[in-house]
Structure 1
């Protein structure tokens, strides 16, 4: 919507779009984070036990990263068809794919039951999750941002973004419920871990119904009516915007690498591994999961606030504050976790959530404003997928290896800080394009300089 004046009918549609993107993204990321948390708590024991506790954990976290390698393929496919056939179709398809894969994980036999076929099937289903995630985010983001009235893209783009901390909250909460109430102790390893995965099918049915009810993005509708779809969007993207894709991917890599310390299951594993098994903290599972769930609420609030404030001060300033907040906390996070005190763990994770929110909240609008309408789905999805590989794909595995090699989490803090500095520099070099026109008629305006060394052309 190019006008800031919104009719009652448009307002109703905006509410439907907000609901569809936040509900669907919540389900998508509930499934994703559920796997990541289970990788550090369960899969290392049930699927990779023969290689030993330490290496089983490393391999388990490797399967978390495997899905990231398939995100670009999911982004290419969803971006291609999303730019040619529409955002809405991909919005529904990716949700169903993720839900089916997650439900099947809940039904998988373990290594003790079927041998090596168990981890192989687990990896295959993780690949399907990666394909889904690679395409889902772009669809949700563009449905939200391209429906938004002028001056409110950050606010509308916040809805798919807050679906991520809500998904983490649900995943951590469900696992805490299972470990602390319904299936404590060995019962959780025997059968309790399966319940949250099987619950996914119910959530998908709800999300499917909501997402089917929304109208197609007005920007894509206009492109379709004019028959302006690009034949091979990805080729056009890399021909004209390859450097932009790289720099923008670096900005997301910083957020993703840091964020996956909690969302990727690393902190959960680091804090709960028994000292007798080589752990450094040895806390109980349930309080750690509750601390992560509590911190995800902080992340949710900050993410929404950052997205809204980015409409006023610009995406770039919002990001810069986030990088500074991250760097201010990264070196005190692990000392707080190492105390073994659940409240200090919660404090550390909550402080960490401030930087996470300020560098994630404005991202939907930020990425959408980078690319022309005809290749926008491919642009945001592929950039997001590449950034995820550079950042969070193997961050938990690398962190586990660093602690094993050095005996200290300080090396992890330096590793994450290095990635954050790269993201900070990339942000400084990119031009702020807040509120640049997104409609198909603005193709020429979309060529306005992306980098600070380029001369900006006035529209």
Structure 2
């Protein structure tokens, strides 16, 4: 058995870091393209093609409920991926999640409608969406650990932002392809008849590319060191909840606020609200999808910028800045959407995604620095999955129900404000541990006092300082 390196991250070459960054961006982009294609189609098509017998309003709620249903299965994916990721490695799990997501998405594109096979159609649609949820629950944790655990301490925010931008890239690609089909290749009824299927079938090509790319990178140096030491944990999730349950809850709440905000656009609610023929706006579908694509581009830029900035001012400070932007933008965004003008809708969505990006960019590094090495995959994955349930799972459904009940879009604004304030409060309770040593030899320090007020006077707080050598062995991407 080879001797573990005293600092495995320092032995990673700049070329390998670039390969890992490329692989995580491509892989997460494909994963979230698949996920967002479904969310967009749920708002635009599935109520008509799979749930029409329930009646127009109920069909739309059921369609959005299938989006939320997948979130309930994210913890299962997170538990499985965390268990195997902490025991057999990050890389193998990432290839498995990509295969599961791509396979399920391709099958949605081939699925007959309710008119063709009856009730079996929505049942099969639900099953395939559940598989997407299981995959998404395991994908994020593995991708961010591959990026962050390969990074020098001074640049974890920057490297961690690469898998983060895969989410807005996936959204940009999904809304862009749907807009292209709706506006060019399958206009009008053709889009509902067959045009929506093409983006789902395209997933198979992307799947092949993603698997090839992911197989070219090496395993995370931190996991290699854990394996060399024989320090894997038998049942990681049991240890996680025995010693870090409160930390998991607080981390989940920080993501819940971000996720609820993000799913106003990525979950299809705004698209449905703006384009429904019987709705208050009745806007052109292609124009709205193009506006969402522009907002995704803004989200991408602010997400990456936030990751880089978090290396300078800290993860927590970057989050706080993002929460302020998000809270200030909620009601102006809805006011601009309600004008029914495409340019103003695009402006409102783009403004709103600035805060979303600032609270998403530092998340990979922030979560990775919270948990001990041997249970880190479980910690970040389960926190992320629980936050997704609390935040984005049924956000489009709740928003739709609020508008149907009250007739006012601004009730959704109060809902978002409340959940964003919860995320803000949770962020303030968690210590910023920027620069902490992530190696398995430092687990005792990693387990100490991650929350303000814990063990006061008995264990010292971990200093958020960057080691003197950090970043000197690396070049910028």
TM-score tier by shorter-chain length is over 0.9
Map 1:113-132; keep pairs closer than 5 Å.
113-132=116-135
Q: Deviations over 1:120-140 (max 9, x none)?
A: 000000000000000010110
- 2:392 corresponding residue in structure 1: 392
- 1:365 corresponding residue in structure 2: 365
Q: Deviations over 1:387-409 (max 9, x none)?
A: 00000000000000000000011
Whether the aligned pair in 2 keeps the contact of 1:295 and 1:346 (CA below 8 Å) is: yes
Question: 2:340 matched to 1:346?
Answer: no
Distance 1:388 1:128 in 2: 16
- 1:421 corresponding residue in structure 2: 421
- 1:69 corresponding residue in structure 2: 72
Larger deviation: 303-312 or 446-455? 446-455
- 2:224 corresponding residue in structure 1: 221
| Structure 2: segments with no counterpart, 5+ residues | 464-477
Whether the aligned pair in 2 keeps the contact of 1:2 and 1:149 (CA below 8 Å) is: no
- 2:329 corresponding residue in structure 1: 329
Return the offset for 1:448. Answer: 2.5
Return the offset for 1:358. Answer: 0.4
Whether the aligned pair in 2 keeps the contact of 1:3 and 1:150 (CA below 8 Å) is: no
- 1:170 corresponding residue in structure 2: 173
Distance 1:458 1:398 in 2: 40
Distance 2:193 2:122 in 1: 17
Return the offset for 1:449. Answer: 1.4
Query: Which of 260, 267, 271 matches 2:270?
Result: 267
Whether the aligned pair in 1 keeps the contact of 2:172 and 2:297 (CA below 8 Å) is: yes
- 1:133 corresponding residue in structure 2: 136
Whether the aligned pair in 2 keeps the contact of 1:33 and 1:263 (CA below 8 Å) is: yes
Larger deviation: 288-297 or 449-458? 449-458
**SS in structure 2 opposite 1:152?**
helix
Question: 2:206 matched to 1:203?
Answer: yes
Map 1:24-35; keep pairs closer than 5 Å.
24-35=27-38
Return the offset for 1:457. Answer: 3.9
**SS in structure 1 opposite 2:110?**
coil
Whether the aligned pair in 2 keeps the contact of 1:145 and 1:368 (CA below 8 Å) is: yes
Structure-2-length-normalised TM-score: 0.94
Query: Which of 89, 101, 109 matches 2:112?
Result: 109
Distance 1:112 1:191 in 2: 14
Distance 1:83 1:294 in 2: 38
Return the offset for 1:96. Answer: 0.6
- 1:190 corresponding residue in structure 2: 193
Distance 1:28 1:447 in 2: 31
Query: Which of 249, 253, 258 matches 2:252?
Result: 249
Distance 1:458-1:421 versus aligned 2 partners, 3 A rule: closer
Whether the aligned pair in 1 keeps the contact of 2:259 and 2:388 (CA below 8 Å) is: yes
Return the offset for 1:2. Answer: 8.5
Cα RMSD of the aligned pairs, angstroms, is 1.4
Query: Which of 84, 90, 93 matches 2:96?
Result: 93
Distance 2:374 2:80 in 1: 15
Return the offset for 1:66. Answer: 0.4
Distance 2:256 2:272 in 1: 22
- 2:442 corresponding residue in structure 1: 442
| Structure 1: segments with no counterpart, 5+ residues | none
Map 1:275-290; keep pairs closer than 5 Å.
277=278, 279-290=279-290
**SS in structure 2 opposite 1:453?**
coil
- 2:54 corresponding residue in structure 1: 51
Structure-1-length-normalised TM-score: 0.97
